[in-house]
Structure 1
Amino acid sequence: MKIIRSKEFTADKAWKAIDIANMQGITTRLHWTDQAYKWHVNDGEEVFVVLDGQVEMQYKEGSTIQTTQLNTGDIFFASVGTEHVATPLGEARILVVEKEGSV
């Protein structure tokens, strides 16, 4: 059993994470960040939940870049092949559920 107080989690570098669970190759991790990630495509599907803060999410639909702002409680689902990048607006805590070893 684990109890994690997500609002208390900080890290010494952007996108550092606490591993919460690995369920048959699907990981659940809590990330802290104050900097943008990089454009990437995951190896599988990804569920991205903003637990604290705000995140600007950019993603490609064909050759068009779309942008949306995710607020606390919002969920972004990246299907297989969705190229995307997350940029926090200040500090953010994000729960990510994805295939183990994904980018």
Structure 2
Amino acid sequence: FGGGGFAISYALALELSKMQDRCIQRYPGLYGSDDRIQACMTELGVPLTKEPGFHQYDVYGDLLGLLGAHPVAPLVTLHHIDVVQPIFPKMKRSRAL
């Protein structure tokens, strides 16, 4: 399991550090760090911003179709890139991306 990840500002990280342990205990039914952090952000009044470059789905094999159809936005994360075929000959996956 896993997700596409998330990013937070330094200022938000400082605010979360003051209350995160207590906040997480209030949400025992939530699974995963992204759900828990979002719940704590809501308590702080910080809205969630969707970034189209974060991808939680698993991608296997050839990435060319995904890359060709990806919106004009930064490709921030891909989930499990260790199982995709390299898109440039003689180049490691991480370097090619």
* TM-score above 0.5: no
Which structure would you say has the larger RCO, counting Cα contacts within 8 Å and 6 or more residues apart? 1
TM-score, normalization by structure 1: 0.29
Larger radius of gyration: 2
* TM-score, with structure 2 as normaliser: 0.30
Question: Where is the strand percentage greater, Structure 1 or Structure 2?
Answer: 1
Task: Name the one with the larger helix percent.
Answer: 2
